[in-house]
Structure 1
Amino acid sequence: MRRIMTIIVFVIVLILGAGFSAINLMPVDINYYLGTLSLPLSIVIIAAIILGTLLGALVLSASILRLRYENRRLRKKLTNTEQEIDRLRILPITDVSKV
């Protein structure tokens, strides 16, 4: 069911994107340091969305890598603590006042 919904949403987005492209065919001049480029408005908007998505993913990847490292470190610490608890449970209980 989830796969069907994904396909339906994809088709709807594809149709809306095609309509968006058909409506926004007028050329837009993009001035950059080395020259000027004339592209259809729809391509400029789609390129800006893709570039923004890639930059956002790049910024998020640094945070995700840091969190994965911290997660690995905490899991190792938890394992060591659990092993220490198991070792302490094995030790016999002695009365300190009698010694």
Structure 2
Amino acid sequence: MRRLIVLLLALVVVAIGLSFATLNSAPINLDFYIGELSLPISLWLVLALALGVLLGLGSAIGILTRQRWQLKRLRREAASSRQEVSELRKLPIRTSN
């Protein structure tokens, strides 16, 4: 049932995207420093969205990698602390008089 809902949702998104592309098919010229490129408005928007997604993923990967390293370090410290507590529990208790 869940797959069917996801499939229907994907079809709706594709249909909206196709209708958007047909409504915005006028070519736009973008002048780069080394040349000029003429593509439909909808394609320029999709390219801008894709570039934004790639840049966002790139920055997120850096943050996630740093957090994973920190998590590994903290887990090692926690394991070391557990081991130390375990060793301390084995020691006999001395009372001072």
Cα distance in 1 for partners of 2:50, 2:16 equals: 17
The alignment's C-alpha RMSD in Å is 1.0
Partner of 1:60: 60
Partner of 2:92: 92
Partner of 2:26: 26
Any gaps of 5 or more consecutive residues in structure 1? none
Q: How many residues align?
A: 97
Cα distance in 2 for partners of 1:56, 1:85 equals: 43
The percentage of counterpart residues that share the same residue type is 34
Cα distance in 2 for partners of 1:7, 1:83 equals: 50
Any gaps of 5 or more consecutive residues in structure 2? none
What's the offset of the Cα at 1:96? 2.5
What's the offset of the Cα at 1:2? 3.1
Secondary structure of the 1:77 match is helix
Partner of 1:15: 15
Partner of 1:70: 70
What's the offset of the Cα at 1:3? 2.5
Give the alignment's TM-score, normalised by structure 1: 0.92
Cα distance in 2 for partners of 1:6, 1:19 equals: 20
Cα distance in 1 for partners of 2:25, 2:68 equals: 45
What's the offset of the Cα at 1:10? 1.0
Secondary structure of the 2:83 match is helix
What's the offset of the Cα at 1:95? 1.0
Give the alignment's TM-score, normalised by structure 2: 0.94
Secondary structure of the 1:96 match is coil
What's the offset of the Cα at 1:50? 0.4
